[in-house]
Structure 1
Amino acid sequence: MNPNTQTTASGEVIVMLNLQFKPGSAGKVLETMVPGIRLTRMEPGNNEFQMFKVKGSEDRYVVYERWKDQAALDWHWEQPYTKEALALFGEHLATPLSEAEDVAYLTDVLEGGD
């Protein structure tokens, strides 16, 4: 995934993913992803990386990421644990991850984001 992203005034890239896993598969995905999340948080260009379970749903999650800049995010996409997570998404998401519907690049409204 390397879409046309938008940066904040500081050059930061903020991404949010909405993930809907197939029934009963989220546990298996998390088993593999949690070590990768820890590694992602230690990446030099990572400002924040959170994965949240949606309250009241066993299979819905939201990932919120903040990156120093586009180069840091690009480097992240090349890491083996990131590629492993994307492969898991391909296997366990209820529908394929859609750039248009499941991925949002965010800007702060106070920075004049559109």
Structure 2
Amino acid sequence: MNQHTRTTASGEVIVMLNLHFKPGSAGKVLEKMLPGIRLTRMETGNNEFQMFKVKGSDDKYVVFERWKDQAALDWHWQQPYTKEALALFGEHLATPLSETDDVAYLTDVMEAEE
């Protein structure tokens, strides 16, 4: 998922995922993901990793990630718990995770344009 990433001026990579789970499956997914979220937050290159539930929806979540650099994010993608999360997404998302529709690489609007 990293072919089109864009780093910030500091080299940091900021990613946001929009997740829409099949009805009734989010709780099962979260239960299995919690240990991996804890491990992700401890990764050396992780600056921030948050998973939020969208108010008013039992099935919609947003993941917000900040990584030291692209190498840190690439390392994260290779971890067993990350691969497990992607497999859970494949099984429990209402539609497959789309690089163009569900994944956004962010930059601060206040940063000088390159």
TM-score by length of 2: 0.97
Counterpart check, 1:2 vs 2:2: yes
> Structure 1 residues 113 and 90 mapped into 2: Cα distance closer, same or farther (>3 Å)?
farther
Q: Distance in 1 between matches of 2:46 and 2:113?
A: 21
CA distance in 2, matches of 1:2, 1:46: 16
Aligned to 1:103: 103
- Asked whether 1:85 is paired with 2:85, we answer yes
Letter in 1 for 2:24: G
Identity of aligned residues (%): 85
In the comparison of the two structures, how many residue pairs are matched?
A: 114
The CA deviation at 1:96 is 0.2
Deviation, 1:3, is 2.4
Structure 1: stretches of 5+ with no match in the other structure: none
- Is the 8 Å Cα contact of residues 8 and 113 (structure 1) preserved in structure 2? no
Q: For residues 10-31 of structure 1, give each alpha carbon's deviation from its aligned partner in whole angstroms, at most 9, with x where no partner exists.
A: 0000000000000000001001
Cα distance per residue 1:65-111 (max 9 Å; x no partner): 00000000000000000000000000000000000000000000000
Is the counterpart of residue 33 in structure 1 residue 59 in structure 2? no
Contact kept? 1:7, 1:69, Cα under 8 Å: yes
Equivalent residue letter for 2:99: E
What's the offset of the Cα at 1:37?
0.3
User: How far does residue 56 in structure 1 lie from its aligned partner after superposition?
Assistant: 0.4
- Structure 2 CA distance for aligned equivalents of residues 70 and 102 of structure 1: 19
Q: CA RMSD in A?
A: 1.1
Any unmatched runs of 5+ in structure 2?
none
Runs of 4+ in 1 over 4 A off after TM superposition: none
Task: Map Cα deviations across residues 35-76 of structure 1 (whole Å, 9 max, x no partner).
Answer: 100000000000000000000000000000000000000000
Find the counterpart in structure 2 of residue 17 from structure 1.
17
* Secondary structure, counterpart of 2:49 in structure 1: strand
